Structure 1
Amino acid sequence: MAINDNVLIKIRDMRDSLTPVEKMVADYILTNLEEIPLLSVKELAKLSKTSDASVLRFCKSMGYGGYRNFIVSVSASLGSMDDEQRDRYTDIRPGDSLSTIIANISLNNSKSIEDTLSVIDREQVARAVEAIGKCSRIALFGVGASGLVCRDAEQKFSRINKICHAYTDGHSQLTAATLLGHNDVAVFISNSGSTSDILEALDIAAKNGCTTVSITKHSKSELAENTDIVLSISTPEITFRSGAMGSRIAMLTVVDMLFAGVASAEYDQVKKYLTKTHNVLAVKHRK
């Protein structure tokens, strides 16, 4: 289950995977948050230029059996948010002062972590930690900014003596996926969940019988639907100007959860490895 289910975050993240009519309902809700708890099914259907049946299908797509349960969840989500939280993501804008930029980036990163905590499933995290702890080796797959997250995970898990490697280009990913087996874990990192190189590697890894884990946007995607374990993140990439800043922070946070989970479960052994690697690096730094 998610740590703190927030239906408004879920609507935002799943919008792109909805049908055109469901998107009309979603867009009306997201732009008129305060009035939604006061509306009946018929009123929301009329205002969103859809139908009663479309609104009910939308509620079902969001995981609710009926409109009433959906509205109760919307009210709870609104009640947990203050005015600043409701629209706190800020894009890069021309002419901002450096102090404004520092404040905005800090808020965006904090919000990415908060929203990810609202959607990530603790049971899925536990399954991933267990699988990584027991596996023979870890293969990490990602391109671009996601590839950088793979490198971070590689560095962390290598320090506790896990056989681990990051693959960040299409050719090496296909080669690595081909050599994976039942005792291995393959972690696929992609915000969109639709990166072609990642999906190709996933198809091969899954056929080889290894455990597959995805770290991806909280939405319906080919990656999420075809991995054994899904670790959802939530962060809007506001425009092309923002690059992958928010998603990178959210993904790094999930990697830290996995690393800390494995390290805690195997603490006595891990402590020795961390001490050894710390000492050898400390000697190098003194030279």
Structure 2
Amino acid sequence: MSGNIIKIREIINNLSPSEKKVAQFILEKPEQISNLSIGELAEKSGSSEATVVRMCKILGFNGYKDFKISITKDIAYMSKDEEGEQYTDVEPGDTLESIVQNISYNNKKSIDNTLDIISFDAIKAAVSAIISADKIDFYGVGASNIIATDAMQKFTRINKIVTSYSDPHLQIASAANLNKGDVAVAISYSGDTKDTFESIKVAKESRATTISITKFGQSPISEICDINLFVSAPEISIRSGAMSSRIAQLNVIDILFAAVASKQFDIAKRYLENTRKAIIKKKIK
């Protein structure tokens, strides 16, 4: 699936009625875009040229021309089978084989779709910020706190000073004591988790570099962060969405960790060996 189509599907429910008309037309007939002028797209979608331009800017393009070129390239690489691919939900009475296949498919698809929309420039900026930081905070509540804890565990192993608290009050307390050059990472798929927003807001006020890991599009958290790392996953009825969004976000944490370790390979290798030896000594014999 193309990155632009994924982005539109992620944001469509947050668009204005006129923007939604443009988005719906693109989703239904993406192959027509390469042959349409901005005026023709506006007419066919029942909107205006200004609305089309606004949609393009929401998607990160300077204007319709750039968007048109990008989506034309996407369509060229899309296979017919790919166009029909959809996330699948777990249904009552499903066989065990069906559940195994559906959940595994959703998890793999969330990683593939995230790869289509994630910004390599944003990853590079996040890695640089983490490398130079004296302290790193990871904020998340509920399922997102599991991801934050995983990040803390990984970066602690290469001797980074990292915190991840499940208590929102402790998250804010830690954020208040960050300094310029430190890093705070907000993890929230929706991008509007109140406790996580309050923590990253305090970190921003402390002049730390702020990073978000959310679904694609504008959200309270992504709007105030310096660097945004977007993921893509479905939200479907039996919480499969929460499962695959967690996998996509964990994958981003793995990418950040591996990139930081690679940049500081000799140092990271030594610290990883130290922690490995220490843990082996603790094993019951």
In the superposition, the TM-score normalised over structure 2's length comes to 0.89
- Percent identity over the alignment is 45
Aligned counterparts of 2:63 and 2:185: Cα–Cα separation in 1: 36
Please, which runs of 5 or more residues in structure 2 have no aligned partner?
none
**Within-5 A mapping of 1:75-94:** 75-86=72-83, 87-94=85-92
Aligned counterparts of 1:13 and 1:263: Cα–Cα separation in 2: 31
Aligned position for 2:93: 95
Aligned position for 1:19: 16
Letter in 1 for 2:174: A
Query: Which residue of the other structure, out of 193, 199, 202, is the alignment partner of 2:200?
Result: 202
Q: 1:229 to 1:70 in 2, by over 3 A?
A: closer
Aligned counterparts of 1:197 and 1:59: Cα–Cα separation in 2: 31
**Within-5 A mapping of 1:1-287:** 6-37=3-34, 41=38, 44-64=41-61, 67=64, 69-86=66-83, 87-239=85-237, 241-287=239-285
Q: Which moved more, 1:77-86 or 1:60-69?
A: 60-69
Does the CA-based 8 Å contact 2:187-2:212 persist in structure 1?
Answer: yes
Displacement, 1:107? 1.7
Aligned counterparts of 1:22 and 1:53: Cα–Cα separation in 2: 10
Aligned counterparts of 1:13 and 1:105: Cα–Cα separation in 2: 20
Letter in 2 for 1:78: I
RMSD: 2.3
Aligned counterparts of 2:227 and 2:63: Cα–Cα separation in 1: 28
Q: 1:191 to 1:40 in 2, by over 3 A?
A: same
Q: Summarize deviations over 1:181-212 as a string: whole Å, max 9, x none.
A: 12421111111111111111122111111111
Displacement, 1:32? 3.8
Q: 1:29 to 1:240 in 2, by over 3 A?
A: farther
Letter in 2 for 1:22: E
Does the CA-based 8 Å contact 1:189-1:214 persist in structure 2?
Answer: yes
Describe the SS at the equivalent of 1:167.
coil
Displacement, 1:141? 0.3
Aligned counterparts of 1:262 and 1:195: Cα–Cα separation in 2: 27
In the superposition, the TM-score normalised over structure 1's length comes to 0.89
Does the CA-based 8 Å contact 1:145-1:248 persist in structure 2?
Answer: yes
Describe the SS at the equivalent of 1:224.
helix
Displacement, 1:16? 3.2
Q: Which moved more, 1:27-36 or 1:271-280?
A: 27-36
Q: Summarize deviations over 1:22-47 as a string: whole Å, max 9, x none.
A: 01221232234455555565654455
Please, which runs of 5 or more residues in structure 1 have no aligned partner?
none
Does the CA-based 8 Å contact 2:122-2:229 persist in structure 1?
Answer: yes
Q: 1:38 to 1:90 in 2, by over 3 A?
A: farther
Describe the SS at the equivalent of 1:214.
strand
Letter in 2 for 1:74: I
Aligned counterparts of 1:208 and 1:273: Cα–Cα separation in 2: 29
Displacement, 1:51? 3.9
Q: Summarize deviations over 1:154-207 as a string: whole Å, max 9, x none.
A: 110111111111122321122111121124211111111111111111221111
Does the CA-based 8 Å contact 1:88-1:107 persist in structure 2?
Answer: no
Describe the SS at the equivalent of 1:252.
helix
